[in-house]
Structure 1
Amino acid sequence: MTPGPDDPSGSEAERKMRFLFQLRSKGVTDDRVLHAMERIDRGPFVKGIFAARAYDDMPLPIACGQTISQPSIVAMMTQALEIGPRDTVLEVGTGSGYQAAILAVLARRVYTVDRHRRLVREAETLFSHLDLPNIVALTGDGSFGLPEQAPFDRIIVTAAAEDPPGPLLSQLKPGGIMVLPVGQSDTVQSLIRVRRLETGFDYEELRPVRFVPLVEGLATD
């Protein structure tokens, strides 16, 4: 029997179908990434007056003057990382925790760091609720990475720097991949993929993007 329009299971199934179709139409084709995006509901990561827009493909404001990226960008950055199930991933910029939750479905372990203590606390609550024990969330200056846990198989940065930060490049394993936005302003940025080779680094420009800036130091909130 086909669910009727008032059947919540029917509307949920239709929403997921539209959501995945939207991702595929933006070039997300990796089945593992699509599965992770389907499994992790964006709804709990969006609060307050913006909750009704949680399933729209658009960035939304969150606490501490930050944003949650649009799902298609999250999916494209995740796909560009080429994460394997045994990989250890560093995320710089926890934000809402949505990106880290997606990564946790794909990787062995995820370390995520943010300069805002409030965001880290709220994200940890969501990670526990979603039963994602392979995420370690920390408050710190992510521009310096996590040298005590390095090197990492994959690094993702969800805030824009003028250039890839040197400490993060040094914490990437040979053969590893880093994906991050770079640009000198909040209006001209490019998403790039950096591969660490035995002889240096290979840089590949992926697409124009717009992210909040990468800020050094700890926030006061």
Structure 2
Amino acid sequence: MSVYDTRRTMMVDNQVRPSDVTKFPIIDAMLKIRREAYVPDEKREAAYMGENLELAPGRVMLEPRTFAKMLDALDIGPADMVLDLGCGLGYSAAVLAEMADTVVALEQDEHLASEAEAILAREEVMNAVVLTGPLAEGAAKHGPYDAIIVEGGVGVLPEAIEGQLKEGGRIACLMMEGTLGTVKIGSKQGGRIAWRFAFNASAPVLPGFEATREFAL
């Protein structure tokens, strides 16, 4: 058993389970997927820390607690097609791929996207595909999706993303107001998304998801 295997078990036991995340598919996936493989080499020692891990300027891998609680609230099933927005180096896509039928992972940072594709191939994750493009536009040609997860802060959710969620589908967003954030879970009914509060968290707002300020004279 490697030191990373031990840290992975400790992450689940000390960060995930105490956050009331107990569903077997989530626990199993987070114990299986090698988080250290999906971070920059120089940050491997920090892979299992309980905080957001910077991947690029303004871009993070969400802390294990936040990510696990989002998965728990989304209740992803084995027949689901999931859109993973802002997949970074692919960790989230790999975990989701253990739980869902298919994962479409979108990344607009070309370096992160190419690295994610290479890592997922190396780790033999076969049911996740990485696409490169603007996060705010989503990946309509593969949708609509049973579930969408946004891997970073959201000021305003772009309409294009709302339109890619199936009727009855679920979406998890970390809504940021200044430095304060709340994860909200949306459910699409009658063509509209109804939101509920899930828990507090924080992350940098993703490009294209910034809230526009209205200036008045």
Give the TM-score taking structure 2 as reference length.
0.89
**2: distance between equivalents of 1:48 and 1:94?**
17
- Are 1:208 and 2:193 matched, yes or no? no
What is the aligned counterpart of 1:27 among 20, 26, 35?
Answer: 20
Q: Who is 2:215 aligned against? A: none
Aligned sequence identity (%): 28
Query: Is the 1:91–1:155 Cα contact (8 Å) retained in structure 2?
Result: yes
Distance 1:138 1:194, change over 3 A: same
The aligned amino acid for 2:80 is D
- Which is further off, 108-117 or 58-67? 58-67
**2: distance between equivalents of 1:104 and 1:83?**
10
What is the aligned counterpart of 1:111 among 94, 104, 113?
Answer: 104
- Are 1:152 and 2:154 matched, yes or no? no
- Are 1:193 and 2:185 matched, yes or no? yes
Give the C-alpha shift of residue 178 in structure 1: 0.3
Larger radius of gyration: 1
Give the C-alpha shift of residue 102 in structure 1: 0.5
Give the TM-score taking structure 1 as reference length.
0.87
**2: distance between equivalents of 1:178 and 1:10?**
35
Which structure has more strand as a fraction of its residues? 2
Distance 1:145 1:199, change over 3 A: closer
Q: Who is 1:3 aligned against? A: none
Please tell me the root mean square deviation across aligned C-alpha atoms, in Å.
1.9
Query: Is the 2:183–2:200 Cα contact (8 Å) retained in structure 1?
Result: yes
Query: Is the 1:87–1:109 Cα contact (8 Å) retained in structure 2?
Result: yes
Distance 1:215 1:14, change over 3 A: closer
**1: distance between equivalents of 2:82 and 2:53?**
24
The aligned amino acid for 2:184 is I
Unaligned ranges ≥5, structure 2 = 210-217
Give the C-alpha shift of residue 119 in structure 1: 0.2
- Are 1:130 and 2:130 matched, yes or no? no
Query: Is the 2:52–2:203 Cα contact (8 Å) retained in structure 1?
Result: no
What is the aligned counterpart of 1:87 among 80, 89, 92?
Answer: 80
- Are 1:101 and 2:106 matched, yes or no? no
Aligned pairs, number:
208
